[in-house]
Chain A
């Protein structure tokens, strides 16, 4: 084994792997994103395991039942589970009462700094600006004390 010290004396070249992807959201994901476009957050429900999945799934990962029941998750029922600061923005993992899972999003800075446990609501973009994407939720903001 020899460490390369004279880089110019050996052959080397650049190459690349020319790959691109066209992603789709799937059965649950497509429905979830269409609902976001309408300004709604919904989760799928497994009655037998008492689980509510957000992001929604078409199956229960516990009992493996097919899930067809969905329910509204009120957009103002969130709370900050954890947060961090990235490039001057606050990124929060927002959970919702009685829901398993949660959503990642930007947290709008208020007068007071963010704290774990504060109640937040999802603020949607204007209807005409929504695209059926996670970014339809522009940010989360504090709802009160």
Chain B
């Protein structure tokens, strides 16, 4: 494969909040402005822009990519919006990567925005119509049903307890205390999670991340450009993406095979043979606590059914052997869908450049991974970065 080396030279992130005064354009602008400042460049140096945002239904603006473009820095640039549901935030830098890797752009701005607060009575209603109109919708299915069925199946296959899963929420909300953008940082206990309001059994209130407004951005560029800007560029080591069947009734709910495929695609490009040893820190998509465990296994960071044990043993803590979601994740920082995935990419960039402040993991980090999950719960995007 004849591709150029691609680097990441800047990142920006807005506050994540339940309801922001800023419009989606204004949120996008804030994130892009911060990313440009962080890279030390101006918009005139940006050759192309990739924008990511999840359903138009959230903002209540159709053709949201077009609506957001001036805030996203896309004015009079090669500009596109990408959308793969919840996996969008990590797919945006993947798309930006090929803009630069192909030689089409030297500098590509990758920005993800979500403003969920306009949708009434709750952003969840955007998902009403993603289900099959004659096989699923007649039952009144909601997104939470699938999560509940998936969580239950995962627990049953491996004999996992709800309390083990709840540890993830406790860890991530705790980690988020050190994140300046975080919406729901908290010191909670496993008991708090267990006692929280049941939503769709076994999914409880504190197993779930909150809807949010927010935006994030990173700057990707050629190696040549990066070397002009910094002595220690962060390289994009590998990208992967993969999708399973449209029919969730026809998938293995206990194990995300599509994620294994996406991860292996990225690992092959990155030359990673043993991810458990070679990945130093990972931001794994955690809209629900069980998903962090599910995704660790799909990413080959844990064996099937092993992720809860690693969590109990403290391996995934910020000072652990394999820190997972040192940012605080979606459970703690918040879940403005596309922006949440981008938050993870930003966190890995901050970790690799030692800009994570109090969130900096204890061990030395060279290789980090960000992952997101979406579409109809069957898509995964993976982005691996490396410090030379």
Binding site for B on A (CB under 8 A): 11, 15, 17-30, 57-59, 61-64, 66
Contact = CB atoms under 8 A, between A and B. Distances in A.
Chain A contact residues: over half helix, strand or loop, or mixed? loop
Given A61-B70, A61-B75, A26 B26 contact: yes
Contact of A15 (B70, B121, B126, B137): B137
Given A15-B133, A64-B36, A64-B73, A26 B21 contact: yes
A52 to B, nearest CB: 15
5 contacts: A19-B126, A27-B23, A63-B42, A64-B29, A64-B33
Given A19-B60, A26-B23, A61-B70, 16 more contacts: A15-B133, A17-B128, A17-B129, A19-B126, A19-B128, A21-B120, A22-B117, A23-B60, A24-B118, A27-B21, A30-B21, A58-B26, A59-B33, A63-B44, A64-B32, A66-B33
B125 interface: yes
B301 to A, nearest CB: 38
Contacts of A19: 57, 60, 119-120, 125-126, 128
A21 B60 contact: yes
Interface residues of B, number: 31
A26 B57 CA distance: 18
Contacts of A15: 133, 137
Nearest to B27: A26
A91 to B, nearest CB: 22
Contacts of A11: 134
Given A19-B126, A20-B121, A64-B36, A28 B26 contact: yes
B74 to A, nearest CB: 9
Contacts of B75: 61-62
Interface string B135-154: 00100000000000000000
Given A59-B29, A64-B43, A18 B73 contact: no
A63 B43 contact: yes
B22 interface: yes
A57 B329 CA distance: 32
A25 B24 CA distance: 10
A29 B22 CA distance: 9
B71 interface: yes
Contacts of B32: 64
Contacts of A22: 117-118, 120
Contacts of B70: 57, 59, 61
Contacts of A64: 29, 32-33, 36, 42-43, 73
B119 A21 contact: yes
B291 interface: no
A66 B26 CA distance: 10
Given A18-B125, A30-B21, A64-B73, A58 B120 contact: no
B130 to A, nearest CB: 10
A83 to B, nearest CB: 25
B22 A27 contact: yes
